[in-house]
Amino acid sequence: MHSRVDVAPPAQDNRSPATARITAIRVAPLQGQSPQGGWSNEIAEEDSIHALVAIHTDAGLSGYGSAFTSGKLAQAAVEVLKPLLIGENALEPERVTEKLHQNTFWMGRGGTLTHAISGIDIALWDILGKATGLPIGQLLGGRYRDRAQPYCSLLMDEPERMADILLPHHERGFRAFKIGWGPFGRRDDPRLDEAIVRAAREAVGDGVRLFVDAGASDAYWPNGLKWALNTARMLKDYGVGWFEEALKPDAIDDFVELRKASPVPIAGGEVLTRRQAYTPWLVRGALDIVQPDVTKVGGISEQRRIAWMAQEFGVRYVGHGWNTALGLAADLQLASAFPDCDLVEYIGGSAYVDRLTREPFALDGEGYLAIPDRPGLGIELEPEHLARYTPDPAAFFAG
């Protein structure tokens, strides 16, 4: 008779740390090659409308995020938030960023502070992924896909210019495009609007997905519901997949009417922040497609709650992503974690998307992007590249 021998399991040497205390928060304003936005008060290359955020910890782990706001505003916001962050456990992103929200309601809820918290939250998820060795999509509950289709986001121009704008990106491999802003809807000339869309469709052909963004969050947008209804009917003739920002961003009653009557899906929501702001739009049925921006709404923690809430209302989630390589990486991870999200926005020709990382994003033969399966966001910033666009890159990477 043999006696029972209990054998202890072998010791694990690759355990992730239980804590990674935050020791520093850094901001890198991006400027020098800021892409034009099509705004009536146009962005100059030297303007800073995006900022990167770095979080450093005592565990030797650092994470990186992106905030859609002026670098100066992001730096000021981080100074306000820093006392709430230093010493916190970076491996608890949802709890930590909710702490930031809860303690800053009265200091600018929904504004610059929320945009800055977005960059911080993305960086914290990046750290959690690195600590566990998992991509963020898997940490969010599982990956439904390993690639997503980027739609190349480009500005509208005169009809005779549209082929020159679109074709270089089509030749690069993009098979989905969004065109927006510029003269569209700005000249009280529906024939011009149609000519722009017709020229775009003829340039890329019928087999390519095409979306249209009116850009009605621009200053002093001149059009209302009747223009949007007539334009939506026109867009149907060109196989447009959705009509984005067709009305001023606070015109929820008109959006409800437009969605009911439009023959093409209605998209919007990029200027809203935090999940609470999206609730009435979903409850009232104002949108077919909801487009929160992960670099504005509160980061990955907030974006995924909005996306799940949208699904409960039968509204499709496609993240707005007019930001940076880090924002695109976050959108890719989120796209992997939702069963019905197969698209990500990709600014055509932006240095802040194409020239910040060690390995550039690359389209496959079908015009898709692989969703990184490396830990965290799955991409690495290249310090020498970042040095072209921010004044003190060494300080940004210093723990």
The residues assigned a catalytic role are 320
Cβ atoms of residues 144 and 344 within 8 Å:
no
Rounded CA separation 327/347 (Å): 11
Q: At what angle do helices 112-132 and 93-102 cross, to 10 degrees?
A: 160
Residues 76, 78, 83, 86, CA torsion sign: negative
Q: Which two tokens stand for residue 139?
A: 């940490």
Rounded CA separation 151/180 (Å): 12
Rounded CA separation 348/339 (Å): 26
Locus of tokens 């510029």: 182
User: In terms of C-beta density within 10 A (0-12 exposed, 13-18 middle, 19 or more buried), how is residue 143 classed?
Assistant: middle
Q: Which of 317, 276, 325 is nearest to 297 (CA)?
A: 276
Q: Which two tokens stand for residue 220?
A: 């002093």
Cβ atoms of residues 231 and 213 within 8 Å:
no
Q: Which of 265, 249, 321, 383 is nearest to 68 (CA)?
A: 321
Cβ atoms of residues 20 and 57 within 8 Å:
yes
Phi and psi at 216, nearest 5°, equal -75, 0
Beta 147-155 vs 369-370: how paired, if at all? antiparallel
- Alpha-carbon distances, residue 354 vs 160, 172, 324, 325, 346 (angstroms): 27, 13, 9, 7, 10
Rounded CA separation 325/40 (Å): 25
Residue count (the chain):
399
